[in-house]
Amino acid sequence: MAQYTPPLRDMQFVMHEVLDVASELKQLPAHAEVDVDTINAVLEEGGKFAAEVVFPLNQSGDEEGCTLDKATHEVKAPKGFKEAYMQYVEGGWPSLSCDPEFGGQGLPITVNQCFYEMLNSANQAWTMYPGLSHGAYEALHAHGTPEQKATYLPRLTSGKWTGTMCLTEPHCGTDLGLLRTKAEPQADGTYKITGQKIFISAGEHDLAENIVHLVLARLPDAPQGSKGISLFVVPKFLVDTDGRIGARNPVFCAGLEHKMGIHGNATAQIVLDGAIGTLVGEPNKGLQAMFVMMNAARLGVGMQSLGLTEVAYQNAVAYAKDRIQMRSLSGPKAADKPADPIIVHPDVRKMLLTARAYAEGGRALAIWTALQIDKEISSDDEDVKRECADLVALVTPIVKAFLTDNGWIATSHCMQVFGGHGYIKEWGMEQYVRDARINMIYEGTNTIQSLDLLGRKVLGDNGAKLKKFGKMVQEFIEDEGVNENMQEFVNPLADLGDKVTKLTTEIGMKAFQNPDEVGAAAVDYLRVCGHLVFGYFWARMAKVALAKVDSGDPFYKAKLATARFYFAKLLPETASLIRSARAGVKPLMEMDEALF
């Protein structure tokens, strides 16, 4: 009973009216020919694919799940998933932003990011199959040997083969320095890899003819800890130098996880029993190579929750306009009906506007981040490349953690709008809540993202990256500070910027005395920074909407109303977060373990 309409108008607003993406791309030699019409046409067709092909499989895929044949170790995806993937491949969608050298279309990542938002709204579990493949492509594109690139990249680009990332093991979780999987060198230059991996999304399925596993393992003489990890490419079926498929490699699915959500994706327990692989990058430097894929995945997980936020919001709005219950406290609004539509009630509107503000703010951040990645990759100016790389490094944990926290809040609110019906499977809302919950956990829990932001990205370079983003915010504040109509947005943004600077300094000084202060403050700190980033983009969007609010287009009135809601009702959360962060480590650590 759920519904989904691709938010093309809002994507176009962010890209063309706020960020002027086409002009930015024209400065990049690889994308100089990409114009507004091209971007819009691609995303319009992408939206049709998401809404018409993938979305109808979301609820049925959740109900059916994946099936493992324990005798053959083969996994069958839910009904319709394979056929949809075939259409995806036939339409050329896997190659959208891939390198033309390997059969890609060479379009900007900015375009691909918007396409993936729509796919995630339509069906997060299905989208994880091609999404992980794109991450494997990026890791091999950056660190693969010429032979590996020639063998794997054209087939990952076309979607003929899919990819995975095989990182964690039953005993180590996120602490990959503890992993035990072994890689034994062979005389022919290959390696025999033995071990067990768990929680491998899309680890086994019937959508494609081969699966390319990127596996972390230890060489015999590897040092202990994370400095002794190497990366290997291990295909499900062995391949020759021409890419022809050969014998079955002993890398098997031993079991499927029974999960809270994303039932349509095969979360596999993978056993490697002397599987043949080849080394990617340098020995004992596998984490550096894998971080290409991990960072791409972190941005991708943010897009998953953005997609869920959008589709949950759309369904909640439709329900709130249709469902009648009670009367408005200020008097009947639908006198011809026995009760008013629940959208007249203030708290229902608060829940809807929270989801809308988090969706539209998240979309602006996601598109801006993708644009910085395009500039980092394709600019011929080394200063621009470095600047963009720093900004992407800073916001990556924010995209992952803030958007997924917000997605959990938003999908829960949207289910609440449905009342008891939201708790019933047939309406589809409880699936969005279940699917959204994993996004706060995998690809590094949101606490780990918070530690990465505060410990590495901010304190680790004495705030250099944060100051680069702060400079953008400050320039905007100075430009708009004389505009009376912008005061309601500029003033709280400037105030929060000052508070972030002071909070950062305070935590840094306390951390010199006790490093646990970072752990105590990190989660609150990331959320404060998330609001600073959202506040900046909401202020930019409000500026455009203010200029066009009298145009007669109701889009701008809605955008301005949502901006005002964000600044009035959501940004003030930062006051309590800052107070909590300043409370420090003592309230958390002073109780003896035995008393828990």
DSSP states along 548-575: HTTSS-HHHHHHHHHHHHIIIIITTHHH
Angle between helices 81-90 and 109-143 (to 10 degrees): 90
Structure token digits, residue 414: 């949207």
Kindly tell me if the per-residue pLDDT of 417 is higher than 80. Answer: yes
What's residue 281's pLDDT?
95
Three-state DSSP at 264 gives coil
Residue 288 class from Cβ within 10 Å (0-12 exposed, 13-18 middle, 19+ buried)?
Answer: middle
Q: Which of 21-30, 153-162, 293-302 has the lowest mean pLDDT?
A: 293-302
Name the token pair of 12. 């176009």
For residue 1, what pLDDT is reported? 76
Mean pLDDT of 80-95: 98
Q: pLDDT confidence of 109, banded at 50, 70, 90?
A: very high
Q: What is the pLDDT of residue 466?
A: 98
Predicted structure pTM score: 0.98
User: Average pLDDT, whole number, for the chain?
Assistant: 96
- When pLDDT is averaged across residues 23-42 and rounded to a whole number, the result is 97
| Percentage above 70 pLDDT, the chain | 100
pLDDT tens, position by position, 517-542: 999 999 999 999 999 999 999 999 99
How do 161-166 and 210-217 pair as beta strands? parallel
Q: How far apart are CA 108 and CA 121, in angstroms?
A: 21
Look at residue 318 in the predicted model and tell me its pLDDT: 98
| Confidence (pLDDT) at 496 | 98
pLDDT at 550: 95
Residue 442, both tokens: 């995998």
User: What pLDDT score was predicted for residue 255?
Assistant: 98
CA distance readout (Å), 166 to 74, 207, 224, 235? 17, 19, 19, 12
- Which of 571, 561, 489 is closest to 527 using CA atoms? 571
Each residue's pLDDT tens digit, 143-183: 999 999 999 999 999 999 999 999 999 998 888 889 999 99
Lowest-confidence segment of 109-123, 129-143, 499-513 by average pLDDT: 129-143
Residue 5 pLDDT exceeds 80:
yes
Model pLDDT, residue 295:
81
* Confidence category of residue 415, pLDDT binned at 50, 70, 90: very high
**Residue of 117, 138, 376, 443 marked catalytic:** 443
Active site residue 443: yes
Beta bridge partners of 234: 213
Residue 97 pLDDT class (50, 70, 90 cuts): very high
Question: Tell me: the pLDDT tens digits for 244-291?
Answer: 999 999 999 999 999 999 999 999 999 999 999 999 999 999 988 877
- Would you say residue 406 has pLDDT above 80? yes
Pairing of strands 161-166, 74-76: unpaired
Distance CA 471, CA 456 (A): 20
pLDDT digits (tens, 9 = 90+) for 456-484: 999 999 999 999 999 999 999 999 989 99
Convert the pLDDT of each residue in 325-372 to its tens digit. Answer: 999 999 999 999 999 999 999 999 999 999 999 999 999 999 999 999
Task: Name residue, tokens 């010429």.
Answer: 146
Smallest CA-to-CA distance from 129 within 231, 325, 262, 233 is with 262
The backbone torsions φ and ψ at residue 130, rounded to the nearest 5 degrees and listed phi first, read -70, -25
Q: Residue 231's beta-bridge partner residues?
A: 216, 280
